[in-house]
Structure 1
Amino acid sequence: MPFDSSGQRPRIEILGAFESTFLPAHDRDIFETTEHDVRFRDDVELLKRSGVTRLRYPVRWHRIEETEGVLDWTATDAVLHHLRDEGLRPIVDLVHHTSYPAWLTDGFADARFGPAYLRYAEEFARRYPWIEEYTLFNEPFSTLFLCGHEGIWPPYHKSLQGFVDLIVNVLPAVTEASRLYRELLPDARHVWVDTCEHHTGSDRSGQAYADMANERRFLVIDAFLGRPYDSTSEVGRLLSEVDGERLLGIEPGFIDVLGLDYYAHCQWNFSVEGGSAPTPTPIPFADLIQQYFDRYGLPCIVTETNVRGHTADRATWLKYVLEQCETAADRGVPVEGLCWFPFIDSTDWNSLLFRCDRSIDPVGVYWLDEGFERRESVMAMAFSAAAIGAPSRELPAFELAEPVATWLAGYRSQMAHWSWQAPPPENRGHSLPRTTTTMELKVVDAK
């Protein structure tokens, strides 16, 4: 319901999150490069002070099972028990992008993945029966697409065939885990998390590709739920060329909450010259939430969003996303919350994790300085205000700095009703994009 019995809109809950993606080629993860592994108690305290009680939190399979068949839960016990003792409610994340053990040498193409994943997932559920919410596999569409179709992450496949092969190798184990968790954690909820996409075309060729991509975005979740694809569609025609019928044989799984990860680069534009993001004509995020709700009829939660820029730019993007969530809720979409991801700056996403040089990614609520100390900012203040109940109209709208101003130019018409103000003098951050940088995402640039 968009409004409660008093006629007031229910508050959109604000969530926190911490990043931990494993870089198999470097045997390091972002827990370690941001020092969260040794600072987690202090980081959790900062999160609590912000007014947050619910968060996405990763479980590091790659560290738990560094030797095949030997699972060490010591570090996981420490952090999850600390979260529980502090009164925080984690949505645990069992596999975040390439966060699988390094001995799975073929990654998501490894024949051992399914049995190993199910063993790990079962032991987790039996060890932590108090967990209330879980994500079995973070962003399965985008993760397997980057691994199987774009060749960005291991096993570096570059074809529709490779993409479908990875889905068929991974998804049956994830659906089985969802059925198993119905027995082992009957009161907990499965929060499915994937990218929330929409695409446009600027010429006939580009629009044809955008139409196909707007069908393809639902491929993995439909396969997970046992929904057939339209064999007469463009996606269906392409799948017929790679034995896509295998997707129809996957036993369905269960989803309780639909998690939507949304960034400006989730809306691409295509033309005869190729594709880039963001599109110059993005649809409002509220419309996109509506599309996913209309298709699946599940309660929604924004499980990731951020923007790479100055701290004031981040605060302004928070205002936009929260306002769009409120708009969707007013239309009757059950929007449970909004998670800014991550709470502290991340690292090495400027190379899509190809390199591991601790390059700070300026996207967090708290920014990291040269010594990786956590620093407060206007973003932290806006985030805290929203977390304790401020609606979007009470959050500041700061004039965007370059290159974010150009990056988000297509969104300005959706923000035209705001009262803008100059960024504060303490508009800080580390490793900020240069004003001459063209913030255009093309995955071919990753290496």
Structure 2
Amino acid sequence: MSECPPEPLLRSFWMGGYEGADHVNAAGEALDMVRATGHLARLDEDYRRAAGLGLRTLRETIGWRLCEGAGGALDLGRAVQLAQAARRAGIQPLWTLMHYGLPPDLSFFDDALIERFARFAGAVARALRPLCEAPRFYTPINEISFLAWAAGSGGVLQETEADAPLDAASEAASRLAPGGVSSSELSGYQVKRRLVRAALAGMAAIRAEDPQARFLHIEPLVHVAAPPDRPELDALAQQIRDYQWQALDLLSGRLEPGLGGHERALDWLGFNHYHSSQWEAQTEKRLAWHLRDPRRQPVSALLLQAFQRYRRPLVLAETGHVGMGRAAWLHEMAGEALQARALGLPLQGICLYPLLDRPDWCDTGRWHRCGLWQPAGSEASAPPSGPRSDSRVPVQTYARALRAWQDLPAAPKTPGRRLVVLLPVRWEGLDAPLQQLLRRLAGEPTPGDACPAPEACFSVLLVEPPRPTAGPPLQRRHRLGPALELLVLHEPGAHAGWATPGQDLTLLRAAVGRGPEGGTLIWLMRWPLAQGWAPDRLTLPGDALLLQPDAQALPPDHSASALQAALLLCEGPLQAAHWSAQGAAQEAAARVPVLRLPLALPARALRPPPALSYEAQEIQALLGPPAGPRLLVMARPQQAPDPAWLEALARLRPGWQFLMLGSLGPAEGNWPAPCRGLGELAAELLPALLQAADAGLVLAPVQAATAHLWPELAILARGAGLPLCSTPLAEMRALPPCPGLGIAATAEAMAQQVDALLARPRTGPRTGPRTRPQAAQAAQAAEARHTRALERALRQAFAGLLPSPSPSPSPTLRPQPTSPLEAAAPLASVACGR
């Protein structure tokens, strides 16, 4: 058998899967996820929606337990129903025969299941062959490794019989299992052997009915690492990693050939990988994907291990995330797919799983918020055994991310201009308007707006401040969009920020490439430069602009060099006016253009989501029922509130709830008891959060470091119509008087002003666009024009420096991690300040 088919056998690279688990859980509930999600009742609707997003290959579960009763009585009506609906919709189904469940008179510890499963598999192939076009793909048993573990360890399946006596053959085979394991793990290994025998028998029965049948064996793909302070567990971590290959080694005859395994049994291989698929040995603590744990391995590297071992076509057969991580995870998996293809791997497709939100296996009243669509209605009203509603609500950010990558496996067409941005904080902690600006510069459309013109776009590389690591220096790349990539540097002895004196820039130089001496475009933001840190230590290729964060106001010793820049970017109106005046004093030839960064998000981006949408339900679940006025406070490091103000307000108004966006909890910032940490929320949740809040508070202390602070909350409140009260920051005091804005110099005055703001009727997106004041609409229109002017200014920064750009391939298409920037002509000195 060839290692890679001569032509694609799947109708679409992006695939989808419908949750099909049908086992009896530990509480004795017989699951039928295809029915519980409403999918079985709305096959035509679900297939039409999937095809509309380009998903024309779909994983479907037939379900052995659901089709066969005690004694072997078969009813394949469900399989026929699925096949006929798929044919009507032009969908290619990938069939799973057993998704964990057994007929009621069989046990995982009984060899009788082998013959019974082969009989069932042959009957399914006989029924489906005339209904489905070739090639017909079958997964005999989904995730043999996981199922064997679940049967042997308890807590997932009913009556695991983990301590069942072993027959003589099983006793002998147990000596082949890894040493030092518990009795439950030994019994799990016996289940694994039995399931492999059943899968081999099922494949033979299917081939007898359908010689053209193809097989897709699907197994978990995992990575296990030792805890940072327990290097002696490295060997155990390696042993656990090796377990994941046992089922495929048994199927191929590499392990225990007496079971009947052979290399021809491995046709296509599917691997399931989620954010929780990497963990610590012994502690079971997950290697946090959202925190970008350096011990995590890229999915492309894990797929490379699988291919080097088995040399078969690969499918990422299940992948997805929950809640607000869904779109970000899809971007990352798309980037990993590009890297896998660049490494020469025959990756044939990615399956988003599940397409429909699903209830938890063990707590069927709890839904996961994991689908591309969710049944309408709230989780609280969800019946445990049926769908929540007869409608589907799409998760818009997830769907937009999928549309952005529709051309996979082909590389996206990205702009030839490069933009390197040194972020002051983690990407997730960056202000929402700045996140949106960077996404727009990378060619992504603003919600409700058209895509930027191609000539206004860049290939954007974001670089987070180096993170400390106990291991060797390491860089990791993460895709945030087709033309937006994040570089995370892990360096021994690193400190937060870029301002460490004598900081080693080796990793950064390696990431952005080497070029002739050139200038940089410096975007000065919210933290000071350390004395002696010179940005020109980093030389760039000539086709790259570097945006480097700094303090809110330029330090005195940098003022002269800033005035020699080609462009200054400021955020606060006062700061922009200050630098404009400084520039006006220069000779005409030396004047520096000064532009203000956009001060608001578009109105459509802040419009409250529908009540039944994922965004609204996510915020509702996060906040719970209101117990008093909700005051939204930014608690990110660069905008940390003054604890003294919080304590005073909590004492003056004990009924207020303080929602701390950016803080995980009171202990993180020593906030008083009424404060509730919300953590870092994805941008798509901000409109629902702003709607749920009653007012916003800006509690930054007034001092030299905040002289030109322009708070993110002020930007968001302007667009959402959220009442806002602030400490007397200079930039806030410079704003024209507004009914929804209060400035207070003491906590007592702020409490009184907030009382007055809460008593006023609220305007803005909450009441709909037609009722918005004309002044607010005019402000939004002005901000949109200002954003376009900023894009033109950045584009003009290239004018005269470079030839006309031509589309360039994505940097992650290279087989090995290399620079995303190519050496070119020197870049003239450019700087900008905030």
**TM-score class, shorter:** 0.7 to 0.9
State the shift of 1:393 in Å: 5.4
Amino acid paired to 1:176: A
Which residue does 1:144 correspond to in 2? Answer: 148
Whether 1:327 aligns to 2:339 is yes
The separation in 1 between residues aligned to 2:409 and 2:363, in whole angstroms, is 39
Structure 1 counterpart of 2:310 = 296
CA shift at 1:309, angstroms? 1.6
Match of 1:199 in 2: 224
- SS at 2:95 equivalent: strand
Per-residue deviation, 1:296: 0.3
TM-score w.r.t. length of structure 1: 0.79
What is the Cα deviation at residue 154 of structure 1?
A: 3.7
Matched letter for residue 124 of structure 2: F
Residues 112/332 of structure 1: CA separation in 2 closer, same or farther (3 Å cut): same
Letter in 1 for 2:363: R
Residue 103 of structure 1 is matched in structure 2 by 105
CA contact (8 A) 2:23 2:65 kept: no
Alignment of 1:413-424 (within 5 A): 413-415=476-478, 418=484
Amino acid at match of 2:357: D
Residue of 182, 205, 208 corresponding to 1:183: 208
> Structure 1 residues 168, 419: closer, same or farther in 2, change over 3 A?
closer
Q: What one-letter code is carried by the residue in structure 2 that aligns with 1:144?
A: A
Q: What is the aligned partner in structure 2 of residue 6 from structure 1?
A: none
Q: How many angstroms does 1:87 deviate by? A: 1.3
Q: Is the 8 A contact 1:303 1:339 kept in 2?
A: yes
Show the counterpart of 2:15: 15
2: CA distance, partners of 1:14 / 1:400: 27
Matched, 1:356 2:359: no
SS at 2:72 equivalent = coil
* Residues 12 and 54, structure 2, Cα contact 8 Å, conserved in 1: no
Aligned to 1:211: 238
Match of 1:383 among 396, 402, 408: 402
Identity between Structure 1 and Structure 2 (%) = 21
**Helix, strand or coil for the counterpart of 1:109?**
coil
- Cα deviation, residue 299, structure 1: 0.8
Partner of residue 222, structure 1: 249
Retained in 2: the 8 A contact 1:193–1:303? yes
Residue among 361, 365, 370 paired with 2:372: 365
- 8 Å CA contact 1:18–1:343 kept in 2: the answer is yes
Could you give the per-residue CA deviations for residues 110-152 of structure 1, whole angstroms, max 9, x where no partner exists?
3431122111101011111255111111111112112214553
- Relative distance call for 1:37 and 1:430 in structure 2 (3 A) is farther
Change (3 A) 1:74 1:165: same
Matched, 1:52 2:55: yes
- Measured at CA, do residues 367 and 414 of structure 1 come closer, stay the same or move farther in structure 2, by a change above 3 Å? farther
Shift in CA distance, 338/72, structure 1 to aligned 2, threshold 3 Å: same
Partner of residue 127, structure 2: 127
Structure 2 CA distance for partners of 1:23 and 1:150, relative to 1, 3 Å: closer
Aligned counterpart, 1:68? 71
- Kindly report the root-mean-square deviation, in angstroms, between the aligned alpha carbons of the 2 structures: 3.3
Q: Distance in 1 between matches of 2:678 and 2:223?
A: 25
Distance 1:125 1:159, change over 3 A: same
* Distance across 1 between alignment mates of 2:140 and 2:29: 24
Q: SS state of the match for residue 45, structure 1?
A: helix
CA contact (8 A) 2:13 2:409 kept: no
Gaps of 5+ in 2: 3-9, 163-182, 378-387, 415-425, 430-466, 487-600, 623-663, 665-676, 680-834
Partner of 1:199, secondary structure, is strand
Aligned amino acid, residue 95 of structure 1: M
Which stretches in structure 1 are left out of the alignment for 5+ residues? 2-9, 229-246, 402-408, 439-447
Post-superposition CA distance 1:406-446 (Å, at most 9, x none) = xxx999943278368x99555727468857799xxxxxxxx
Which structure has more relative contact order (CA 8 Å, sep 6+)? It is 1
Partner of residue 167 from structure 1, selected from 183, 192, 199: 192
Decide whether aligned partners of structure 1 residues 123 and 39 sit closer, same or farther in structure 2, where only a CA change above 3 A counts.
same
Q: Which residue of 2 aligns with 1:264?
A: 275
In structure 2, give the amino acid aligned to 1:168: R
Inter-CA distance 331–83: structure 2 relative to 1 (3 Å threshold)? same
Q: Report if the CA contact (8 A) 1:206-1:269 is conserved.
A: no
Q: Secondary structure at the match of 1:180?
A: helix
Task: Provide the residue aligned with 1:307 in structure 2.
Answer: 321
Q: In structure 1, what is the equivalent of residue 392 of structure 2?
A: 374
Give the paired residue count. Answer: 391
Deviation for aligned residue 1:257: 0.7
DSSP 3-state at the match of 2:79: helix
Please list the CA deviations of residues 300-336 of structure 1 after superposition, one character each: whole Å capped at 9, or x if unmatched.
Answer: 01000011122xx211111101110111111111000
Please tell me whether Structure 1 or Structure 2 has the larger radius of gyration of its CA atoms: 2
Aligned mates of 2:358, 2:678 — CA distance in 1: 19
Using the size of structure 2 for normalisation, the TM-score is 0.44
